[in-house]
Structure 1
Amino acid sequence: MVSASDRRRAVELIEQAQQVGARLAPTCEVLGLSVRTVQRWTCEGGVREDQRPTAVRPKPANALSPEEEQAILEACHRPEFAPLPPEQIVVRLLDEEQCYLGSVSSFYRVLRRHGELTHRGRAKAPRRALRPTTYQSTGPNQVWSWDCTWLPGPVKGLFFYLVMIVDIYSRKVVGWEVFHSEPAHHARLVIERAVLAERLIDQPLVLHADNGSAFKGAILLEKLHELNITPSYSRPRVSNDNAYSEALFRTCKYVPDYPVDGFASLEDAQRWVHRFVGGYNTEHRHSAIRFVTPDATPSWGGSPDPRSAPRPQPGRTRPTPRALEWANAQLDADYGRLPQPGARSGTHPVRSRGVTTMQATTTLTITAEST
């Protein structure tokens, strides 16, 4: 609702703009008004005030009278109805006394109007959930995510504990270690080594984790405060708030050489994780960063971020000469094994100006990245 003074001021500004040649529609758009609104304000020669506060509204025919409202209050004040909600009161009056004083909504409105609608009982009053705190990473080493997972040991029931820290921007594993147990001081060593390795002493950093006890201990929190790291934790009962670390563990445990039968010793587990992290950071083409390696992400410097480039559209990307040469060589090698015309046994490639496609269900487009 716009006050009368604000309306007059807006109309004055619009008139001044029109005097110097501005059109009405763009002027109203600058003020956040529509042309129809300004016309309605000035339709009677001057600036008309808002009529809604002074409008005479007829009383609804089905509105409760003062006597009916008092009857509802007296029913709610009865000792047997004092601990009951309006739903129960309305039903009991109908069932036991064949008396209908009003709907459940009417009971609520009357109680609210007289200040008698308050929370009762031992249960906590409902409250509006606040928006969770979020952090945005626009470059490497701004927000890290870490978690702990179990690695199978030499016998059933014996596990080793793997702690990994991943940078959510570059997807680089910046720190890891395998331990016999999961206390907080082990996590303290991992984060301290990662900060030293990435040369982030006294630089602001956010470290996100789940609500595990190993990541909320007093020893660890003291070290995070010392390193100028802001701790961040997942919301209670929200399993996907730490998705980056969970996805990393999924990749780790589903590589072909993962020893599903368990590691023979702690040193064996450490050697395997060392090889995995090395290959992940230097050789793994991560789909979330446009299929570049995590180690290559911080070296972009002034070059454009590959993730900001438009995604190639199927059938609209021009293949590189090297990709065309490879595709044609593959096609020539497989051409002799194709079924003869008329056999039509399944789906077969068709050669068309250097681009390899698959008929029927599959389409293969060689893009610039396919080298």
Structure 2
Amino acid sequence: MKRADIIVIGAGLMGSSTALWLARAGKKVLLLEKEHHPCHASAVNAGGVRRLNRALEEIPLSVAAMELWHRLPSIVGSDCGFEPVGQVRVAPDDNAMALFEQRVNKVRALGFDHEELVTASEIKRLVPAYAGRCSGGIVARDDGHASPAQTLRAFYNAACAAGAEAAARCRVADIARGENGFLVTAADGRRFNSDVVINCAGAWGGRLAALVDDHLPIKPEGLSMMVTARRPRFLRPVVGVHGRKLSFKQTANGTVVIGGAHRAVLDMAREKTVVDFGEMKQSAATVLEHFPVMKDASIVRCWAGIEGMMPDGLPVIAESPTTPGLFHVCGFSAHGFQLSPMVGCLAAALATGRKPEVSLAAFSVKRFI
């Protein structure tokens, strides 16, 4: 039986980031992953690095995370493909623009100024290819996008280099608390012992929580993306449109990555997703409505990942209310990618009895009790 100070369950971005910060704090860490390598939400998401249009409760966490994104090479030895090209959200009509104005005022009342209200002419300057309706918009000029696969690889490798020990194909079947700490048992019979356990199991976080009689109302969802063949550069910032299911960006190699939370068919029993091409057709129609320059684009691949969605859209980053020493860090509801560098830092602080540098009060599991 292997012994560690802390066991982290789930080697996706949240787990790898948490393991990294713990290992650098001198803790002996075991990082358990049920797959051969992480392959769900962490590796196949849209790669948006955004503070723009966050839930107000998430803004302090997102702003702190953005500071880390701008110095990733010194943290994980890679820039993770981060391009701070900005993010834009278009207001297609005056009603949307009024909502944006109210939002920017709320953000500034909290003491943050990263969201900027801009005119229709500024939207046209920033996104000349945009041809949809426009009354203006909001912009976060230092936001951008990064490579999910490169980011996950960088954090995982950095965690292992810092001393975290990874165990693959290690599906956790039981978590028990005893006199000598936690006993974590894998489905194949492997056993692990630690003083602390951190649940970073993503869409499977609710199942892990149930092993200690905690209730996390995480609903697994399949979310789809598609990518085009390379095209001449026509777009710099990441673009979304209020009221429309659209996330639209062009990468450095010229491909265009298209998302917008279009659902896929999810078979959770088999842990598989199937792209719904009716949804992809709707996604393509939305793209053409706003970017007719894409009329001759070729789609080269569609895919879907499995996300863990919470009823209020906010994650849980908190100690278990029933089992001291066990922490839940999951339920990021399709927008955890940008938060991950800072989430790991904060989770490591929680797990080692230190005060997190950003308040986590909004992310308590007790809001569901």
> Where on the TM-score scale, by shorter chain, does this alignment land: which range?
under 0.3
Q: Which of the two has greater strand per residue?
A: 2
Q: Which structure carries more helix by proportion?
A: 1
Greater C-alpha Rg: 1
What's the TM-score, normalizing by structure 1?
0.20
